[in-house]
């Protein structure tokens, strides 16, 4: 019975974000700006909140301005906790 419980366990869903590449100067790393609209707690106005995430880019194929999809992953360095899963739109 113990074997049945271990085989049916699944990992939790990983977080997925979309953003725009703002820097690709580092080797195998891209800095991606993720913009979210949040409501002000008191005044109710929607504000844009930008978060810069460091993402692992194994092939070094993303360029500045590309729209990419990121997936949460294990810590790969001091700041890098995301990886690029796909390029949604190339920069023009």
What is the per-residue pLDDT across 7-52, written as a single tens digit (0 to 9) for each? 677 888 999 999 999 999 999 999 999 999 999 999 999 999 999 9
Fold observed for domain 13-89: OB fold (Dihydrolipoamide Acetyltransferase, E2P) (2.40.50)
Where are the domains positioned within the chain? 13-89
Do the strands 67-72 and 46-56 form a parallel or antiparallel pair, or are they unpaired? Answer: unpaired
- Phi and psi at residue 8, to the nearest 5°: -90, -10
pLDDT at residue 1, rounded to an integer: 54
- 6 pLDDT band, cuts 50/70/90, is low
Q: What is the dihedral of CA 61, 64, 65, 67, to 10 degrees?
A: 40
pLDDT at residue 78, rounded to an integer: 96
Q: What is the pTM of this model?
A: 0.82
């Amino acid at each position: 019975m113990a074997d049945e419980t271990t085989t049916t366990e699944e990992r939790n869903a990983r977080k997925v974000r979309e953003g725009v590449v703002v820097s690709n100067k580092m080797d195998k790393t891209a800095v991606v700006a993720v913009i979210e609209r949040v409501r002000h707690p008191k005044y109710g106005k929607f504000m844009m909140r930008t978060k810069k995430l460091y993402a692992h880019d194994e092939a070094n194929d993303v360029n500045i301005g590309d729209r990419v999809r990121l997936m949460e992953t294990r810590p790969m360095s001091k700041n890098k906790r995301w990886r690029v899963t796909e390029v949604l739109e190339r920069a023009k």
